[in-house]
Amino acid sequence: MTTPLTPLLSRRLPLPDLVDLVRYYAEAPDLWRPQLRFNAQSRWWKRLSTDDDADVWLLTWMRDQTTELHDHGDSTAAFTVVQGALEEVRVDPAGTLSATELRPGRTQWVAPGIVHDVRNVAVLPAVSIHAYSPPLTQMTYYRQVAAGLEPFKTISGREPEA
């Protein structure tokens, strides 16, 4: 029961709804194409939508731009490539890295606690749409060490990176 003094908590969208949300935006280029920007120094991003349950982001990537290994805190993520190609690297429980090439139309999802990296290893720029539920509020970054992964930085906020 919610009282006037009890804060309303964000709810996690069911995974099929989060995937549908990403695909909806991907299939509606009029909502994102006019906002595209590319930055040679770093990835560029813009929030397309947000509410208590999810936020949706447009990201652009030039060659060799990367997120570095990170998690999404308590948020589930879904993302799809709408232009170019990206590579996603995931870390399995044994610490092994595995890469998957992502082309337009391929949608990936990332459960809370999963560590991954997304990067553009292609020559051409790439564009992707990402959704987080509940809205993204924390990301922890990791580096590889002899014993596996070591967290080295946690950021809080309402953007893909601080």
Task: Tell me the DSSP string of 19-43.
Answer: HHHHHHHHT-HHHHGGG----SSS-
Whether the predicted model's global pTM rises above the 0.85 cut: yes
Q: Report how far apart, in Å, the C-alpha atoms of 62 and of each of 10, 16, 86, 125 are.
A: 33, 30, 10, 5
pLDDT digits (tens, 9 = 90+) for 35-89: 999 999 999 999 999 999 999 999 999 999 999 999 999 999 999 999 999 999 9
What's the whole-number average pLDDT of the chain?
A: 90
Beta strands 126-133; 76-83: pairing state: antiparallel
Taking the C-alpha atoms of residue 45 and residue 54, their distance in angstroms, rounded to an integer, is 16
Taking the C-alpha atoms of residue 55 and residue 159, their distance in angstroms, rounded to an integer, is 10
